[in-house]
Structure 1
Amino acid sequence: MADVLVVADDLTGANAAAAGFARAGFRAVTASAGEHAEVVAEMVSRFDVVVATTESRHLDAHTARERVGRAVRAGWPARLVCNRIDTTLRGNVGATTREIFDRVGELAGSRTVLLCAPAHPAAGRQTIGGIQLLDGRRLEDTEVARDARTPVRTSDVAELLRQQGGLEVAVVAVEDVTGDLDRLAEKIRQHLDGGAEVVVADAMTADHLDRIAAAAVAATVGTDLVWTTSDPGPASVALAKALGLAGETPGAPLLVLSGSATELTRLQLGQLVAERAARPIRAVREHAVPDVDATARLLDEALDHAGADDIVVLATVLDESDLWSPSAEQATQIPTALARAARRALESHPVDGIFTTGGDVTAALLAELGSHGLEVSDEVVPLAVAGSLVGGPWDGLQVVTKGGLVGDARTTIVCLDHLRSQVAAHRRQVTAVESREPH
């Protein structure tokens, strides 16, 4: 489950929203999900925030809603679902807001209410009296009113949501936003009791957005109401923090994938278990080749119980008793089976990074994960390199890889320590991915 699922109508807005969540301490990814929403499902186990871009701003309202609905279904469940809209209200703002309202309500089985706070103070966008302003001017008095594809006819946020989405809208005015916080929560509660489906909130500063989010959460304590958002990003970040989602995910374990049977590899893995309390798993063999289903189940179980500081080792050989003499055909099949079992586990379990030993296993893993290759960032020790996957659903995943006859007894430990540092530096970057399905 992702903490936050954001559906954006264009790539630029998706990137901006993801960057805002990354600055707030979330691990964020943008996923191109226009016609291939399944990529969203591939990301939710790896990131705190998945921002799916549907490229629907200039499409007709019906198609835009369909794309948003598919993205929400693919990313469900999520603790918070957000509709990322344009700061100047271009596109299908009301239609996509309605789709978020309907789909989350359907999937959650509870009453859903949208918080719509379209202000983006850092970018000169403010909302006053329910009117969206661009650098202090109504939208219909700016160049966005003459946009060739999606001209903006009104800056009245509530009216736009009613026209395009048929939603029941209530507006929280700036005098309430800037007043007593308890009274602000009571004002929101009154609107909810009156049947509001969307609460549009005025805001001129980032502090106003934080106050609105805190009051929204306070107004629904003890209820099963589900909040969603429709905004350019800052209000969604504020609500995620108010809901206590920021910083909840401490990270994920590291995975070691070993297909090497060398004496040195066995020594290195033994040292890793002794010094770092790594959790070793033997691949389940059937006629010398790992049984993918059985091995994936073992790895699933190990990752289920692994914490952020743990290291899980999946290996074909852990000690001398595991040695055997495979045929040439079996030797070719072993790396693929091992990588396939790992991929199955990774589809439902996050890991912060992968260490591979054995060139054939590394190549098989890249192929299974749909990666085009490895972007090398460093050489940890001679013939052991660090980098990240390029392309595919696991794009950006941190990796260290080495051959089975490289280093000394502690080389694997050195590589895992480097991988930890690499992951820590990477955590606040935003990754972008595309589906493995052909376009």
Structure 2
Amino acid sequence: MKTIIVADDLTGANDTSAVLAKNGMRVATLDNPNDSLSYKNFDALAFHTESRGMESENAYNIVNEITKDLFNINIKVDFFSKRIDSTLRGNVGSEIDGILDALPSNTVAMVCPAFPGSNKIVIGDYMLVNGIPLENTDVRNDPTSPVTTSRVATVIAQQSKRQIGIVSMETILQGKEAIVSNIEGLVENGAQIIVFDSCTDEDINNVAQAIIKSNVPFITVDPGAFTNAVVMAMTPVDAVKTKQKALFVIGTASGIVVDQLTDLKAAHNPYIVKINSEELLYPGRAEIECQRVVTEILSNLNNNQLFVIATMVEAKDKLDLKLAAKNAEISVYEASKRICKYVSKMGYQIMVQSKNQIGGVYTSGGDITQEFLAQSKTKGVEIKDEIIPLTVYGRVIGGLLNHKPIVTKGGLIGDKKTLTLCADYLITKISNSFYEEGEH
């Protein structure tokens, strides 16, 4: 097992679990430590103490007790994670001490509370929320856990008995080797809690890789992003990343597709191959174009998680179908059918030739979906859920893609966020599918 997460509330336990699950991990949130052995083959287990609003001493005791229980259960764990609130509310220092006092005495708390995805960064030991010092936000007036300072080390020191060290942004920017050296120096000088500046996901990834390289026994202390980075850094690429790959087959040519792809690029940075639609109107040239697209995707499988093949990526890509059909001496209807046929063929060939590395597929447009399923020789789709109206999730029935997760959407359905929503949904379902298949 990679990690056991001890969170101060149920929402926090679920949040960190969700981040790990999204990245292909098998995770569960449990109420009772005694149930852990039943889930020892999971990548992570999360537990919640509901201790955020408690008195400091009570919070220490409950975290200390649950950590002792979990440590003494016969499960090999790479590291423990102390999940804290993203705005440092609660008994941060007491709970760090509680978990450390239950673990071997040489264990160091690595604290990286930045959450760039939620616009929370730490620089100069100061937490900024949307660019505003933490103490000047609404958390100052929290009725049960007010935070009156922006300094992370000060928040911890108000309750912890341990020596605290800080790794500054200056060191972070120098790279992993500098971070490792700083960690080792701080530990040699007695630090048992180390707080890291971080402004970007790259910073967090570098810190994660550095603490692993330092060989210092550690726990992570964070709202989720840092723990996820450590788990991913510990996990071989082939063991996780291949579980979550997804292919998006988009044959719709419209402005909304361009907007949706733009949002998807910002959210997931997919590998995109634009299809030359006009080439598909000529059978010989169509086969060459198919091979080009399929080969390009397959050649980049190891370096990416999401893949898109699309006839229109930017507004300038839109094909004048009437003119193109005239030039090819075929009807507009036949031109549309040929494009649909070959785009679907590309999608199917990529899925099959990826040798199960691509775990699920998204198809846009009813004609594309129908042709894709026909190419796949399926019996149909078992419908499981509706993501939004006219956008459904299901599992392929029959053929070489049997049981594969599939999301299908009407080509003109949704707003600019819809494709990203579908991607998030599909990634999670692909992860679940991997484990279900493994169990069977």
So what's the TM-score if we normalise by structure 1? 0.53
Report what 2:2 is aligned to.
3
- 1:183-226, CA deviations, whole angstroms, 9 ceiling, x for partnerless residues? 22212221121111111000010000011111222223xxxx31
Return the alpha-carbon distance in structure 2 between the equivalents of residues 49 and 99 of structure 1.
Answer: 20
Report what 1:428 is aligned to.
431
Which SS does the other structure have where 2:199 is aligned? coil
Q: Given that residues 24 and 246 in structure 1 are in contact (C-alpha distance below 8 angstroms), is that contact kept between their aligned partners in structure 2? A: no
Report what 1:400 is aligned to.
none
Q: Given that residues 3 and 245 in structure 1 are in contact (C-alpha distance below 8 angstroms), is that contact kept between their aligned partners in structure 2? A: no
Report what 2:106 is aligned to.
111
Which SS does the other structure have where 1:6 is aligned? strand
Q: Number of aligned residue pairs: give it.
A: 265
Deviation of the 1:8 alpha carbon: 0.9
Q: Which runs of 5+ in 2 are unaligned?
A: 243-378, 385-397, 407-426, 434-440
1:200 to 195, 198, 218: 195
Deviation of the 1:180 alpha carbon: 3.5
Matched, 1:42 2:38: yes
Return the alpha-carbon distance in structure 1 between the equivalents of residues 146 and 175 of structure 2.
Answer: 38
Report what 1:61 is aligned to.
56
Q: Given that residues 81 and 104 in structure 1 are in contact (C-alpha distance below 8 angstroms), is that contact kept between their aligned partners in structure 2? A: no
Deviation of the 1:14 alpha carbon: 1.6
When the two chains are superposed, the root-mean-square deviation of aligned CA atoms in Å is 3.6
Give the AA of the match of 2:94: A
Q: Which runs of 5+ in 1 are unaligned?
A: 252-380, 388-413, 431-439
Which SS does the other structure have where 1:229 is aligned? strand
Higher helix share: 2
- 1:81-108, CA deviations, whole angstroms, 9 ceiling, x for partnerless residues? 1000001000111111111212122xxx
Report what 2:229 is aligned to.
238
Q: Given that residues 58 and 149 in structure 1 are in contact (C-alpha distance below 8 angstroms), is that contact kept between their aligned partners in structure 2? A: yes
Correspondence list, 1:6-405, <5 A:
6-31=5-30, 33=31, 36-45=32-41, 47-72=42-67, 73-74=69-70, 77-105=76-104, 111-220=106-215, 225-244=216-235, 248=239
Return the alpha-carbon distance in structure 2 between the equivalents of residues 42 and 199 of structure 1.
Answer: 34
**Residues 58 and 44 of structure 1: CA distance in aligned 2, closer, same or farther (over 3 Å):** farther
Give the AA of the match of 1:212: V
Return the alpha-carbon distance in structure 2 between the equivalents of residues 146 and 13 of structure 1.
Answer: 20
**Residues 239 and 37 of structure 1: CA distance in aligned 2, closer, same or farther (over 3 Å):** same
Give the AA of the match of 1:182: E
Q: Given that residues 125 and 134 in structure 1 are in contact (C-alpha distance below 8 angstroms), is that contact kept between their aligned partners in structure 2? A: yes
Return the alpha-carbon distance in structure 2 between the equivalents of residues 69 and 244 of structure 1.
Answer: 28
Deviation of the 1:42 alpha carbon: 3.5
Higher relative contact order (CA 8 A, sep 6+): 1
Return the alpha-carbon distance in structure 1 between the equivalents of residues 383 and 2 of structure 2.
Answer: 29
Q: Given that residues 22 and 428 in structure 2 are in contact (C-alpha distance below 8 angstroms), is that contact kept between their aligned partners in structure 1? A: no
Q: Given that residues 40 and 52 in structure 1 are in contact (C-alpha distance below 8 angstroms), is that contact kept between their aligned partners in structure 2? A: no
Deviation of the 1:235 alpha carbon: 0.8
- 1:259-318, CA deviations, whole angstroms, 9 ceiling, x for partnerless residues? xxxxxxxxxxxxxxxxxxxxxxxxxxxxxxxxxxxxxxxxxxxxxxxxxxxxxxxxxxxx
Return the alpha-carbon distance in structure 1 between the equivalents of residues 430 and 77 of structure 2.
Answer: 20
Report what 2:279 is aligned to.
none
**Residues 425 and 418 of structure 1: CA distance in aligned 2, closer, same or farther (over 3 Å):** farther
So what's the TM-score if we normalise by structure 2? 0.53
